[in-house]
Structure 1
Amino acid sequence: MRKPDSGVQLRFIRPMEPELVEQPPKGGEWGHEVKFDGYRTQIIKDADGIRFYTKNGFDWTDKYRPLAEEAKTIAAESFIIEGETIVTNEAGLSDFHALRSAITRRPQDLYLVAFDLLHLDGRDLRDMPLKDRREILQALIPAGGHIQFSEALPGTGDAVYLLACEANLEGIVSKRLDSPYRSGATMNWRKIKCYVEKEMDIIGVKRETGKPAVVLMADKGHYMGGAFVTFKADKRQALWDRVQGRVGAPPPKGLAREKAEWLKPGLVGRVKFLKGEEKLRHASLKDFWEE
Protein backbone atom coordinates (compact mmCIF):
# COMPACT_ATOMS: atom_id res chain seq x y z
CA MET A 1 0.00 0.00 0.00
CA ARG A 2 1.58 3.24 -1.13
CA LYS A 3 2.35 6.06 1.24
CA PRO A 4 0.49 9.32 0.70
CA ASP A 5 1.95 12.65 -0.19
CA SER A 6 2.85 14.53 2.98
CA GLY A 7 0.21 17.15 2.20
CA VAL A 8 -2.74 14.77 1.75
CA GLN A 9 -6.08 16.30 2.77
CA LEU A 10 -9.24 14.28 3.30
CA ARG A 11 -12.86 15.38 3.47
CA PHE A 12 -15.81 14.15 5.49
CA ILE A 13 -17.72 11.36 3.72
CA ARG A 14 -21.49 11.16 4.12
CA PRO A 15 -22.20 7.99 6.12
CA MET A 16 -23.63 4.74 4.83
CA GLU A 17 -26.94 4.23 6.65
CA PRO A 18 -28.51 0.86 7.57
CA GLU A 19 -32.22 0.41 6.92
CA LEU A 20 -34.44 -0.53 9.87
CA VAL A 21 -36.02 -3.98 9.38
CA GLU A 22 -38.04 -6.33 11.57
CA GLN A 23 -35.94 -9.52 11.28
CA PRO A 24 -32.21 -10.20 10.79
CA PRO A 25 -31.19 -11.53 7.35
CA LYS A 26 -30.42 -15.21 6.87
CA GLY A 27 -27.34 -16.72 5.25
CA GLY A 28 -23.61 -16.87 5.70
CA GLU A 29 -22.93 -13.79 3.56
CA TRP A 30 -23.87 -11.51 6.46
CA GLY A 31 -21.87 -10.32 9.46
CA HIS A 32 -23.56 -9.19 12.67
CA GLU A 33 -22.42 -6.55 15.17
CA VAL A 34 -23.85 -4.98 18.31
CA LYS A 35 -25.92 -1.86 17.65
CA PHE A 36 -24.33 0.59 20.04
CA ASP A 37 -26.50 3.35 21.47
CA GLY A 38 -24.45 6.47 20.82
CA TYR A 39 -23.44 9.12 18.27
CA ARG A 40 -22.23 8.11 14.81
CA THR A 41 -18.70 9.45 14.41
CA GLN A 42 -16.12 9.76 11.63
CA ILE A 43 -12.43 10.20 12.48
CA ILE A 44 -10.17 11.78 9.88
CA LYS A 45 -6.40 11.98 10.07
CA ASP A 46 -4.49 13.85 7.34
CA ALA A 47 -1.93 16.63 6.94
CA ASP A 48 -4.13 18.87 9.10
CA GLY A 49 -4.15 16.42 12.01
CA ILE A 50 -6.98 14.54 13.76
CA ARG A 51 -10.62 15.59 13.39
CA PHE A 52 -13.83 14.05 14.73
CA TYR A 53 -17.08 14.59 12.81
CA THR A 54 -20.70 13.95 13.68
CA LYS A 55 -23.12 12.05 11.45
CA ASN A 56 -24.06 15.34 9.77
CA GLY A 57 -20.49 16.52 9.26
CA PHE A 58 -20.07 18.88 12.22
CA ASP A 59 -16.56 19.10 13.70
CA TRP A 60 -16.73 17.88 17.31
CA THR A 61 -13.00 17.38 17.85
CA ASP A 62 -12.94 19.68 20.87
CA LYS A 63 -15.82 17.79 22.49
CA TYR A 64 -14.01 14.48 21.96
CA ARG A 65 -10.55 15.73 22.94
CA PRO A 66 -9.42 12.65 24.94
CA LEU A 67 -10.42 10.36 22.05
CA ALA A 68 -8.71 12.69 19.58
CA GLU A 69 -5.48 12.44 21.58
CA GLU A 70 -5.74 8.65 21.59
CA ALA A 71 -6.40 8.59 17.84
CA LYS A 72 -2.91 10.02 17.33
CA THR A 73 -1.47 6.67 18.45
CA ILE A 74 -3.04 4.79 15.51
CA ALA A 75 -0.08 3.89 13.31
CA ALA A 76 -1.03 5.36 9.94
CA GLU A 77 -0.15 8.49 7.96
CA SER A 78 -3.78 9.16 7.09
CA PHE A 79 -7.15 7.48 7.55
CA ILE A 80 -10.92 7.82 7.69
CA ILE A 81 -12.47 5.57 10.36
CA GLU A 82 -16.19 5.16 11.00
CA GLY A 83 -17.49 4.37 14.46
CA GLU A 84 -19.89 5.13 17.29
CA THR A 85 -19.06 7.34 20.27
CA ILE A 86 -20.58 5.90 23.45
CA VAL A 87 -20.46 5.99 27.22
CA THR A 88 -21.19 2.90 29.29
CA ASN A 89 -23.29 2.40 32.41
CA GLU A 90 -22.52 0.27 35.46
CA ALA A 91 -23.58 -2.86 33.56
CA GLY A 92 -21.10 -2.08 30.80
CA LEU A 93 -23.83 -1.31 28.26
CA SER A 94 -23.88 1.80 26.07
CA ASP A 95 -26.12 4.44 27.65
CA PHE A 96 -27.46 7.02 25.21
CA HIS A 97 -29.22 9.08 27.88
CA ALA A 98 -25.95 9.59 29.79
CA LEU A 99 -23.93 10.41 26.68
CA ARG A 100 -24.66 14.13 26.39
CA SER A 101 -23.64 14.89 29.99
CA ALA A 102 -20.55 12.69 29.61
CA ILE A 103 -19.42 14.71 26.58
CA THR A 104 -19.59 17.98 28.54
CA ARG A 105 -18.63 16.82 32.05
CA ARG A 106 -16.46 13.70 31.74
CA PRO A 107 -15.17 13.25 28.18
CA GLN A 108 -12.42 11.00 29.54
CA ASP A 109 -15.13 8.31 29.97
CA LEU A 110 -16.08 8.26 26.28
CA TYR A 111 -15.36 5.30 24.02
CA LEU A 112 -15.21 5.12 20.24
CA VAL A 113 -16.24 1.75 18.81
CA ALA A 114 -14.74 1.58 15.30
CA PHE A 115 -16.54 -0.54 12.71
CA ASP A 116 -15.34 0.54 9.26
CA LEU A 117 -12.31 1.94 7.44
CA LEU A 118 -12.88 4.13 4.38
CA HIS A 119 -9.42 5.47 3.65
CA LEU A 120 -5.89 4.48 4.65
CA ASP A 121 -2.50 5.97 3.74
CA GLY A 122 -3.51 7.53 0.45
CA ARG A 123 -5.82 4.75 -0.68
CA ASP A 124 -9.61 4.96 -0.94
CA LEU A 125 -10.96 1.63 0.39
CA ARG A 126 -14.67 2.16 -0.29
CA ASP A 127 -14.78 -0.23 -3.25
CA MET A 128 -13.17 -2.97 -1.18
CA PRO A 129 -15.52 -5.60 0.37
CA LEU A 130 -16.55 -4.84 3.93
CA LYS A 131 -14.89 -8.02 5.23
CA ASP A 132 -11.50 -6.90 3.91
CA ARG A 133 -11.90 -3.31 5.16
CA ARG A 134 -12.70 -4.60 8.63
CA GLU A 135 -9.72 -6.97 8.68
CA ILE A 136 -7.40 -4.02 7.99
CA LEU A 137 -9.19 -1.89 10.57
CA GLN A 138 -8.92 -4.56 13.29
CA ALA A 139 -5.16 -4.77 12.79
CA LEU A 140 -4.94 -0.99 12.96
CA ILE A 141 -6.69 -0.44 16.32
CA PRO A 142 -4.44 -0.89 19.39
CA ALA A 143 -5.85 -3.09 22.15
CA GLY A 144 -6.85 -1.82 25.58
CA GLY A 145 -7.73 1.78 24.80
CA HIS A 146 -10.88 3.86 24.55
CA ILE A 147 -10.87 3.44 20.76
CA GLN A 148 -11.95 -0.15 20.24
CA PHE A 149 -12.80 -2.43 17.33
CA SER A 150 -16.43 -3.52 16.91
CA GLU A 151 -16.13 -7.30 16.97
CA ALA A 152 -18.44 -9.39 14.81
CA LEU A 153 -20.74 -11.68 16.80
CA PRO A 154 -20.54 -15.39 15.95
CA GLY A 155 -23.66 -17.27 14.90
CA THR A 156 -26.66 -16.88 12.66
CA GLY A 157 -28.57 -13.60 12.51
CA ASP A 158 -31.53 -15.04 14.43
CA ALA A 159 -29.30 -16.40 17.20
CA VAL A 160 -27.26 -13.22 17.50
CA TYR A 161 -30.41 -11.08 17.63
CA LEU A 162 -31.95 -13.25 20.36
CA LEU A 163 -28.81 -13.10 22.49
CA ALA A 164 -28.53 -9.33 22.01
CA CYS A 165 -32.08 -8.76 23.22
CA GLU A 166 -31.63 -11.13 26.17
CA ALA A 167 -28.49 -9.16 27.12
CA ASN A 168 -30.58 -5.93 27.13
CA LEU A 169 -28.74 -4.47 24.15
CA GLU A 170 -30.49 -2.05 21.78
CA GLY A 171 -30.21 -4.47 18.87
CA ILE A 172 -27.82 -5.57 16.12
CA VAL A 173 -26.58 -4.32 12.76
CA SER A 174 -26.27 -6.92 9.99
CA LYS A 175 -23.98 -6.14 7.05
CA ARG A 176 -23.25 -7.94 3.80
CA LEU A 177 -19.63 -9.02 4.01
CA ASP A 178 -19.02 -8.31 0.32
CA SER A 179 -20.61 -4.84 0.31
CA PRO A 180 -18.67 -1.75 -0.79
CA TYR A 181 -19.13 1.49 1.13
CA ARG A 182 -21.77 3.75 -0.40
CA SER A 183 -23.05 6.92 1.27
CA GLY A 184 -26.75 7.03 2.09
CA ALA A 185 -29.39 4.45 2.97
CA THR A 186 -28.81 0.86 1.87
CA MET A 187 -30.26 -2.60 2.38
CA ASN A 188 -26.71 -3.99 2.36
CA TRP A 189 -26.64 -2.83 5.98
CA ARG A 190 -29.68 -3.53 8.16
CA LYS A 191 -30.42 -2.58 11.76
CA ILE A 192 -32.70 -4.78 13.82
CA LYS A 193 -33.77 -3.29 17.13
CA CYS A 194 -34.94 -5.15 20.21
CA TYR A 195 -38.40 -4.60 21.63
CA VAL A 196 -39.36 -3.78 25.22
CA GLU A 197 -42.70 -3.81 27.03
CA LYS A 198 -43.86 -1.22 29.54
CA GLU A 199 -47.01 -0.17 31.38
CA MET A 200 -48.29 3.28 30.40
CA ASP A 201 -51.46 5.34 30.72
CA ILE A 202 -53.94 5.23 27.83
CA ILE A 203 -54.92 8.90 27.41
CA GLY A 204 -56.70 8.80 24.06
CA VAL A 205 -57.74 6.78 21.02
CA LYS A 206 -57.84 7.32 17.28
CA ARG A 207 -60.52 5.40 15.38
CA GLU A 208 -60.76 6.47 11.75
CA THR A 209 -62.58 4.57 9.02
CA GLY A 210 -60.17 2.64 6.84
CA LYS A 211 -57.22 3.08 9.20
CA PRO A 212 -55.86 0.87 12.00
CA ALA A 213 -57.08 1.84 15.47
CA VAL A 214 -54.48 3.49 17.70
CA VAL A 215 -54.30 4.15 21.44
CA LEU A 216 -52.36 7.20 22.59
CA MET A 217 -50.02 6.62 25.51
CA ALA A 218 -48.35 8.68 28.23
CA ASP A 219 -45.58 7.68 30.63
CA LYS A 220 -45.54 9.58 33.93
CA GLY A 221 -47.37 12.47 32.31
CA HIS A 222 -45.17 12.61 29.20
CA TYR A 223 -46.86 11.94 25.87
CA MET A 224 -45.19 8.97 24.16
CA GLY A 225 -47.18 8.54 20.96
CA GLY A 226 -49.48 5.87 19.60
CA ALA A 227 -49.66 2.07 19.69
CA PHE A 228 -51.67 -0.04 17.26
CA VAL A 229 -54.61 -2.08 18.52
CA THR A 230 -54.34 -5.58 17.03
CA PHE A 231 -56.69 -7.52 19.33
CA LYS A 232 -59.27 -9.98 18.06
CA ALA A 233 -62.90 -8.82 17.96
CA ASP A 234 -63.98 -9.76 21.50
CA LYS A 235 -60.99 -8.18 23.27
CA ARG A 236 -61.13 -5.15 20.99
CA GLN A 237 -64.78 -4.62 21.91
CA ALA A 238 -63.92 -4.91 25.60
CA LEU A 239 -61.36 -2.15 25.13
CA TRP A 240 -63.87 0.11 23.37
CA ASP A 241 -66.40 -0.49 26.16
CA ARG A 242 -63.90 0.78 28.72
CA VAL A 243 -62.87 3.66 26.46
CA GLN A 244 -66.48 4.78 26.03
CA GLY A 245 -66.92 5.32 29.75
CA ARG A 246 -63.90 7.64 29.88
CA VAL A 247 -64.30 9.80 26.75
CA GLY A 248 -64.60 13.53 27.35
CA ALA A 249 -61.31 14.67 28.87
CA PRO A 250 -59.76 17.90 27.54
CA PRO A 251 -56.81 17.50 25.14
CA PRO A 252 -53.43 17.40 26.92
CA LYS A 253 -51.26 20.46 26.53
CA GLY A 254 -49.81 20.69 23.04
CA LEU A 255 -52.06 17.99 21.57
CA ALA A 256 -55.22 19.95 20.79
CA ARG A 257 -54.72 19.49 17.05
CA GLU A 258 -54.66 15.69 17.29
CA LYS A 259 -57.85 14.17 15.92
CA ALA A 260 -58.46 11.91 18.90
CA GLU A 261 -60.92 11.02 21.63
CA TRP A 262 -59.29 12.02 24.92
CA LEU A 263 -59.86 9.91 28.01
CA LYS A 264 -60.24 10.56 31.70
CA PRO A 265 -57.52 8.94 33.84
CA GLY A 266 -57.64 5.34 34.98
CA LEU A 267 -57.09 3.16 31.90
CA VAL A 268 -53.66 1.51 31.73
CA GLY A 269 -52.05 -0.53 28.97
CA ARG A 270 -48.99 -2.69 28.43
CA VAL A 271 -47.32 -1.61 25.21
CA LYS A 272 -44.57 -3.27 23.18
CA PHE A 273 -42.23 -0.94 21.28
CA LEU A 274 -38.75 -0.54 19.83
CA LYS A 275 -36.04 -0.03 22.41
CA GLY A 276 -33.88 3.09 22.30
CA GLU A 277 -36.49 5.47 20.84
CA GLU A 278 -37.60 8.73 22.49
CA LYS A 279 -41.21 8.11 21.41
CA LEU A 280 -43.18 4.96 20.72
CA ARG A 281 -42.17 3.39 17.42
CA HIS A 282 -43.50 0.17 15.86
CA ALA A 283 -45.64 -0.06 18.99
CA SER A 284 -48.60 -2.32 19.72
CA LEU A 285 -50.95 -2.62 22.69
CA LYS A 286 -50.57 -6.04 24.33
CA ASP A 287 -53.07 -5.74 27.20
CA PHE A 288 -55.13 -3.20 29.16
CA TRP A 289 -56.91 -2.81 32.51
CA GLU A 290 -58.49 -0.24 34.76
CA GLU A 291 -56.65 1.00 37.79
Structure 2
Amino acid sequence: MFISPMLLETAPGPFSHSNFIYEPKVDGHRLIYSQQAGVVRLYTRHNNDCSRQYPELLIPFDDDIILDGEVACTDPSTGLNDFEAVMSRFSTRQHSKVQQLIKTLPATFAIFDILQYKGQDLRKLPLMERKAILHSLNFPSRSFGVVPHIEGAGEALYEQIEAMGMEGVVGKRKDSVYVSRRSKDWMKVINWSYADVYITGYRKAEFGWLVAVPDTLGKLRPVGIIEHGPSSKHKQAFRGVCQQLVTGHDKDYVYLEPKIQARVKMRNWTKSGLLRIPVFMEFII
Protein backbone atom coordinates (compact mmCIF):
# COMPACT_ATOMS: atom_id res chain seq x y z
CA MET A 1 0.00 0.00 0.00
CA PHE A 2 1.36 3.40 -1.03
CA ILE A 3 0.67 6.65 0.83
CA SER A 4 1.62 9.86 -0.98
CA PRO A 5 4.18 11.60 1.24
CA MET A 6 4.01 14.92 3.06
CA LEU A 7 6.26 17.43 1.28
CA LEU A 8 8.40 20.30 2.53
CA GLU A 9 8.00 24.01 1.98
CA THR A 10 11.19 26.11 1.79
CA ALA A 11 12.03 28.42 4.68
CA PRO A 12 13.74 31.72 3.83
CA GLY A 13 16.58 30.85 6.20
CA PRO A 14 17.50 29.01 9.42
CA PHE A 15 15.02 29.61 12.24
CA SER A 16 14.38 28.49 15.82
CA HIS A 17 10.98 28.08 17.47
CA SER A 18 9.84 26.22 20.58
CA ASN A 19 6.88 24.74 18.63
CA PHE A 20 9.24 22.99 16.18
CA ILE A 21 11.62 20.05 16.17
CA TYR A 22 14.62 20.04 13.84
CA GLU A 23 16.22 17.14 11.95
CA PRO A 24 19.26 16.92 9.68
CA LYS A 25 18.09 16.66 6.07
CA VAL A 26 19.17 13.26 4.76
CA ASP A 27 20.68 13.47 1.25
CA GLY A 28 19.07 10.49 -0.43
CA HIS A 29 15.69 9.87 -2.02
CA ARG A 30 12.30 9.59 -0.36
CA LEU A 31 11.14 6.08 0.48
CA ILE A 32 7.79 4.77 1.67
CA TYR A 33 8.25 1.37 3.34
CA SER A 34 4.97 -0.59 3.29
CA GLN A 35 4.47 -3.96 4.97
CA GLN A 36 1.01 -5.44 4.37
CA ALA A 37 0.11 -9.02 5.39
CA GLY A 38 3.82 -9.55 6.06
CA VAL A 39 4.85 -8.58 2.49
CA VAL A 40 7.23 -5.61 2.16
CA ARG A 41 7.17 -3.20 -0.80
CA LEU A 42 9.26 -0.04 -1.24
CA TYR A 43 8.01 3.03 -3.10
CA THR A 44 9.48 6.36 -4.23
CA ARG A 45 7.55 9.57 -3.52
CA HIS A 46 5.98 9.25 -7.01
CA ASN A 47 4.63 5.73 -6.31
CA ASN A 48 7.30 3.90 -8.30
CA ASP A 49 8.05 0.46 -6.84
CA CYS A 50 11.78 0.27 -6.09
CA SER A 51 11.74 -2.93 -4.02
CA ARG A 52 14.18 -4.85 -6.22
CA GLN A 53 16.82 -2.09 -6.00
CA TYR A 54 17.12 -2.40 -2.21
CA PRO A 55 16.79 -6.07 -1.19
CA GLU A 56 18.54 -5.38 2.14
CA LEU A 57 15.50 -3.26 3.12
CA LEU A 58 12.89 -5.94 2.37
CA ILE A 59 13.07 -7.34 5.90
CA PRO A 60 9.71 -7.38 7.72
CA PHE A 61 8.93 -5.82 11.10
CA ASP A 62 7.03 -7.71 13.81
CA ASP A 63 3.72 -6.36 12.47
CA ASP A 64 2.31 -4.58 9.42
CA ILE A 65 3.55 -1.02 9.15
CA ILE A 66 3.99 1.97 6.81
CA LEU A 67 7.07 4.16 7.35
CA ASP A 68 8.31 7.36 5.74
CA GLY A 69 11.97 8.25 5.38
CA GLU A 70 14.95 8.50 3.05
CA VAL A 71 17.09 5.76 1.58
CA ALA A 72 20.73 6.79 1.84
CA CYS A 73 24.27 5.57 1.22
CA THR A 74 27.31 6.73 3.18
CA ASP A 75 30.63 7.77 1.67
CA PRO A 76 33.14 5.77 3.77
CA SER A 77 35.84 8.44 3.29
CA THR A 78 33.75 11.31 4.73
CA GLY A 79 31.00 9.60 6.72
CA LEU A 80 28.47 11.82 4.90
CA ASN A 81 25.49 10.81 2.79
CA ASP A 82 26.50 10.18 -0.83
CA PHE A 83 23.67 11.18 -3.17
CA GLU A 84 25.43 9.88 -6.27
CA ALA A 85 25.81 6.46 -4.62
CA VAL A 86 22.07 6.36 -3.91
CA MET A 87 21.32 7.27 -7.53
CA SER A 88 23.64 4.46 -8.62
CA ARG A 89 21.65 2.04 -6.44
CA PHE A 90 18.33 3.39 -7.66
CA SER A 91 19.25 3.09 -11.35
CA THR A 92 20.55 -0.50 -11.05
CA ARG A 93 17.90 -3.14 -11.78
CA GLN A 94 19.92 -6.20 -12.81
CA HIS A 95 19.85 -8.75 -9.99
CA SER A 96 23.56 -9.72 -10.10
CA LYS A 97 24.67 -6.07 -10.08
CA VAL A 98 22.28 -5.25 -7.24
CA GLN A 99 23.77 -8.11 -5.21
CA GLN A 100 27.27 -6.68 -5.77
CA LEU A 101 26.16 -3.17 -4.75
CA ILE A 102 24.65 -4.45 -1.49
CA LYS A 103 28.26 -5.17 -0.47
CA THR A 104 30.00 -2.09 -1.94
CA LEU A 105 27.24 0.56 -1.56
CA PRO A 106 24.91 -0.69 1.18
CA ALA A 107 21.66 1.25 1.55
CA THR A 108 20.22 2.40 4.85
CA PHE A 109 16.67 3.51 5.56
CA ALA A 110 16.67 6.71 7.64
CA ILE A 111 13.13 6.81 9.08
CA PHE A 112 11.46 10.00 10.28
CA ASP A 113 7.76 9.12 10.45
CA ILE A 114 5.31 6.25 10.99
CA LEU A 115 1.98 6.39 9.15
CA GLN A 116 0.36 3.04 9.99
CA TYR A 117 1.07 0.32 12.55
CA LYS A 118 -0.79 -2.87 13.48
CA GLY A 119 -3.73 -1.87 11.29
CA GLN A 120 -4.06 1.61 12.85
CA ASP A 121 -3.85 4.79 10.75
CA LEU A 122 -1.59 7.15 12.74
CA ARG A 123 -1.60 10.15 10.39
CA LYS A 124 -4.03 12.25 12.47
CA LEU A 125 -1.90 11.91 15.61
CA PRO A 126 0.39 14.86 16.44
CA LEU A 127 3.95 14.42 15.15
CA MET A 128 5.45 13.94 18.63
CA GLU A 129 3.05 11.06 19.37
CA ARG A 130 4.01 9.42 16.07
CA LYS A 131 7.69 9.93 16.95
CA ALA A 132 7.17 8.21 20.33
CA ILE A 133 5.66 5.16 18.57
CA LEU A 134 8.51 5.17 16.05
CA HIS A 135 11.14 5.21 18.81
CA SER A 136 9.46 2.26 20.53
CA LEU A 137 9.93 -0.07 17.54
CA ASN A 138 12.36 -2.95 17.28
CA PHE A 139 14.14 -2.61 13.94
CA PRO A 140 14.66 -5.77 11.87
CA SER A 141 18.30 -5.05 10.94
CA ARG A 142 21.11 -2.50 11.18
CA SER A 143 20.01 -1.15 7.78
CA PHE A 144 17.19 0.70 9.59
CA GLY A 145 17.52 3.72 11.87
CA VAL A 146 15.59 6.77 13.09
CA VAL A 147 16.61 10.28 12.03
CA PRO A 148 17.55 12.16 15.23
CA HIS A 149 15.86 15.42 16.18
CA ILE A 150 16.26 18.27 18.64
CA GLU A 151 13.63 20.66 19.95
CA GLY A 152 13.66 24.40 19.36
CA ALA A 153 17.30 25.00 18.36
CA GLY A 154 17.06 25.14 14.58
CA GLU A 155 19.76 27.76 14.03
CA ALA A 156 22.29 25.94 16.21
CA LEU A 157 21.67 22.69 14.31
CA TYR A 158 21.99 24.51 10.97
CA GLU A 159 25.39 25.88 12.00
CA GLN A 160 26.60 22.34 12.72
CA ILE A 161 25.14 21.04 9.44
CA GLU A 162 26.79 23.87 7.50
CA ALA A 163 30.18 23.23 9.15
CA MET A 164 29.96 19.52 8.27
CA GLY A 165 28.97 20.16 4.65
CA MET A 166 25.66 18.31 5.01
CA GLU A 167 22.55 19.05 2.94
CA GLY A 168 20.43 21.08 5.33
CA VAL A 169 17.88 21.09 8.13
CA VAL A 170 14.17 20.26 8.29
CA GLY A 171 11.94 22.01 10.83
CA LYS A 172 8.64 20.29 11.73
CA ARG A 173 5.80 21.63 13.86
CA LYS A 174 5.44 19.38 16.92
CA ASP A 175 1.65 19.11 16.66
CA SER A 176 1.56 18.59 12.86
CA VAL A 177 -0.68 15.86 11.48
CA TYR A 178 0.50 13.98 8.38
CA VAL A 179 -0.98 15.26 5.10
CA SER A 180 -0.22 13.98 1.59
CA ARG A 181 0.72 17.39 0.17
CA ARG A 182 3.20 20.22 0.60
CA SER A 183 2.77 21.93 3.99
CA LYS A 184 4.30 24.84 5.90
CA ASP A 185 4.19 22.62 8.99
CA TRP A 186 7.36 21.03 7.54
CA MET A 187 10.06 23.47 6.37
CA LYS A 188 13.46 22.82 4.80
CA VAL A 189 16.56 25.01 4.95
CA ILE A 190 19.11 23.97 2.31
CA ASN A 191 22.85 24.44 2.91
CA TRP A 192 23.58 25.88 -0.53
CA SER A 193 27.00 26.13 -2.16
CA TYR A 194 27.76 29.00 -4.54
CA ALA A 195 29.74 29.41 -7.76
CA ASP A 196 30.40 32.05 -10.43
CA VAL A 197 29.98 30.69 -13.95
CA TYR A 198 30.13 31.80 -17.58
CA ILE A 199 27.07 31.29 -19.78
CA THR A 200 28.37 29.60 -22.95
CA GLY A 201 25.10 28.85 -24.75
CA TYR A 202 21.41 28.10 -24.45
CA ARG A 203 18.98 25.35 -25.31
CA LYS A 204 16.78 25.89 -28.39
CA ALA A 205 13.73 24.05 -27.05
CA GLU A 206 12.82 24.34 -23.35
CA PHE A 207 14.72 26.85 -21.21
CA GLY A 208 18.31 26.09 -20.25
CA TRP A 209 21.59 28.03 -20.13
CA LEU A 210 24.84 26.14 -20.70
CA VAL A 211 27.48 27.13 -18.15
CA ALA A 212 31.22 26.64 -17.69
CA VAL A 213 33.99 27.52 -15.21
CA PRO A 214 37.74 28.01 -15.77
CA ASP A 215 39.90 24.96 -15.11
CA THR A 216 43.36 25.14 -13.51
CA LEU A 217 44.85 26.26 -16.83
CA GLY A 218 42.24 28.98 -17.32
CA LYS A 219 40.40 27.08 -20.06
CA LEU A 220 36.62 26.87 -19.67
CA ARG A 221 35.11 23.47 -18.93
CA PRO A 222 31.35 22.73 -19.08
CA VAL A 223 29.71 22.20 -15.67
CA GLY A 224 26.02 21.81 -16.49
CA ILE A 225 22.81 23.63 -17.40
CA ILE A 226 20.90 26.27 -15.44
CA GLU A 227 17.19 25.42 -15.62
CA HIS A 228 15.89 27.25 -12.53
CA GLY A 229 15.99 30.70 -11.01
CA PRO A 230 15.96 33.52 -13.59
CA SER A 231 12.93 35.82 -13.68
CA SER A 232 11.28 36.92 -16.92
CA LYS A 233 13.30 40.18 -16.64
CA HIS A 234 16.56 38.22 -16.38
CA LYS A 235 15.62 36.15 -19.44
CA GLN A 236 14.65 39.29 -21.36
CA ALA A 237 17.97 40.97 -20.50
CA PHE A 238 19.83 37.83 -21.59
CA ARG A 239 17.99 37.73 -24.93
CA GLY A 240 18.84 41.40 -25.51
CA VAL A 241 22.58 40.70 -25.25
CA CYS A 242 23.14 37.13 -26.42
CA GLN A 243 22.48 37.57 -30.15
CA GLN A 244 25.65 39.65 -30.44
CA LEU A 245 27.65 36.79 -28.90
CA VAL A 246 26.59 33.80 -31.06
CA THR A 247 29.51 31.67 -32.26
CA GLY A 248 27.58 28.72 -33.71
CA HIS A 249 24.78 26.22 -33.12
CA ASP A 250 23.73 22.61 -33.57
CA LYS A 251 20.41 20.76 -33.47
CA ASP A 252 19.82 21.45 -29.78
CA TYR A 253 21.95 24.41 -28.69
CA VAL A 254 23.11 27.90 -29.65
CA TYR A 255 26.69 28.59 -28.53
CA LEU A 256 27.95 31.96 -27.26
CA GLU A 257 31.17 33.76 -26.51
CA PRO A 258 31.67 33.46 -22.74
CA LYS A 259 31.05 37.15 -21.98
CA ILE A 260 28.03 36.82 -19.65
CA GLN A 261 28.83 35.80 -16.08
CA ALA A 262 26.35 34.67 -13.45
CA ARG A 263 26.28 33.59 -9.82
CA VAL A 264 24.47 30.32 -9.04
CA LYS A 265 23.58 28.43 -5.90
CA MET A 266 23.62 24.63 -5.94
CA ARG A 267 23.39 21.60 -3.68
CA ASN A 268 27.06 20.70 -4.23
CA TRP A 269 29.65 19.77 -6.86
CA THR A 270 29.25 16.22 -8.17
CA LYS A 271 32.24 13.86 -8.17
CA SER A 272 32.58 14.42 -11.92
CA GLY A 273 32.87 18.19 -11.39
CA LEU A 274 29.35 19.26 -12.38
CA LEU A 275 26.95 21.61 -10.60
CA ARG A 276 24.20 19.69 -8.81
CA ILE A 277 20.82 21.39 -9.35
CA PRO A 278 22.18 24.90 -10.12
CA VAL A 279 19.81 27.82 -9.50
CA PHE A 280 20.48 31.23 -11.10
CA MET A 281 20.83 34.07 -8.59
CA GLU A 282 22.12 37.12 -10.49
CA PHE A 283 24.22 38.33 -13.37
CA ILE A 284 27.74 39.47 -12.49
CA ILE A 285 28.47 42.82 -14.09
Q: TM-score scaled to structure 1, two decimals?
A: 0.73
CA contact (8 A) 1:43 1:82 kept: yes
Could you say which residue in structure 2 is the equivalent of 1:134? 131
Could you say which residue in structure 2 is the equivalent of 1:94? 81
- CA distances 1:41-62 after superposition (whole Å, capped 9, x unpaired): 0111121511111111122222
The question of 1:81 aligning with 2:41 is answered no
Deviates more, 1:47-56 or 1:17-26: 17-26
Could you say which residue in structure 1 is the equivalent of 2:271? none
The question of 1:107 aligning with 2:102 is answered yes
Change (3 A) 1:200 1:139: same
Equivalents in 2 of 1:110, 1:157: separation in Å? 28
The question of 1:23 aligning with 2:18 is answered no
Which residue identity does 1:264 align to in structure 2? E
Question: Where does structure 1 lack aligned partners over 5 or more consecutive residues?
Answer: 1-10, 206-214, 230-239, 257-261
CA contact (8 A) 2:20 2:152 kept: no
> How far has the Cα of 1:183 moved from its partner?
0.4
Could you say which residue in structure 2 is the equivalent of 1:35? 25
The question of 1:217 aligning with 2:211 is answered yes
Equivalents in 2 of 1:130, 1:264: separation in Å? 53
- CA distances 1:122-179 after superposition (whole Å, capped 9, x unpaired): 2111010111101210221439711110000465222222221221011111111100
The question of 1:264 aligning with 2:227 is answered no
Deviates more, 1:218-227 or 1:84-93: 218-227
Question: Where does structure 2 lack aligned partners over 5 or more consecutive residues?
Answer: 203-208, 214-220, 232-237, 269-274
Equivalents in 2 of 1:93, 1:141: separation in Å? 25
Which residue identity does 2:33 align to in structure 1? I
Identity of aligned residues (%): 27
Change (3 A) 1:270 1:159: farther
Q: TM-score scaled to structure 2, two decimals?
A: 0.75
CA contact (8 A) 1:33 1:172 kept: yes
Change (3 A) 1:251 1:171: farther
CA contact (8 A) 1:154 1:160 kept: no
- CA distances 1:51-87 after superposition (whole Å, capped 9, x unpaired): 1111111222221111113xx2x3x321111110011
Deviates more, 1:87-96 or 1:192-201: 192-201
